[in-house]
Amino acid sequence: MIKLSDFFTEKTIRTGLVRKKKKEVIAELVGCLAEAGLVTDEKILLKAVLAREKIQTTGLGGGVAIPHARAVHIQKIAMAVGRYEDGVDFSALDKKPVYLVFLVAAPAEAARPYIQTVAKLARLMKTPPYKDRLLKAAGSGEIARLIEQFDQQHPQDVLVKKTADGRVIHPE
């Protein structure tokens, strides 16, 4: 079973951030993973995440985005979390600013765990009251504790299915 808390450390959670452009946010979070030693080639990951963004925005709406990609040179799934106080234009589905960004990086061959991780993050953001608490958390330690609490309360994997156009969704 996927535990979100297995994929980050307090070093890969940043709060109080200020960026205005999607590409800057993604580059900042990729850099965060590199600083933590979880990514060996920032350029490859950044290119993969930006290519994924071109297919369809990962700005889910409700102030949340989950940019993600699989790429070579990534040894294990890793996640960076950024909270942007003034919001970011992430081309979100609801056209509103994004305040909470979860960047997921996975090895190229890790299809199922990667999909489960993204789906579980989406579930986290749809499970009251986690999104509100994460948006108001005092710092990286509190964000980490909230995600660990979610893992304990929701240990099961998420049902996912493939749509006719090849996208993976998790119906609820």
Catalytic residues: 68
Task: Count Cβ atoms within 10 A of the Cβ of residue 45 and give its class: 0-12 exposed, 13-18 middle, 19 or more buried.
Answer: buried
Q: What letter would DSSP give residue 158?
A: P
Instruction: Write the DSSP symbol of residue 157.
Output: P
**E strand or H helix at 68:** strand 68-71
C-alpha angle with apex 49: 110 to 136, nearest 5 degrees? 95
End-to-end CA distance of the chain: 18
Burial of 32 (0-12, 13-18, 19+ CB in 10 A): buried
- Read off the tokens for 107: 């090895």
The answer to whether the beta carbons of residues 96 and 61 sit under 8 Å apart is yes
Instruction: Say how far apart CA 139 and CA 34 lie, in whole Å.
Output: 21
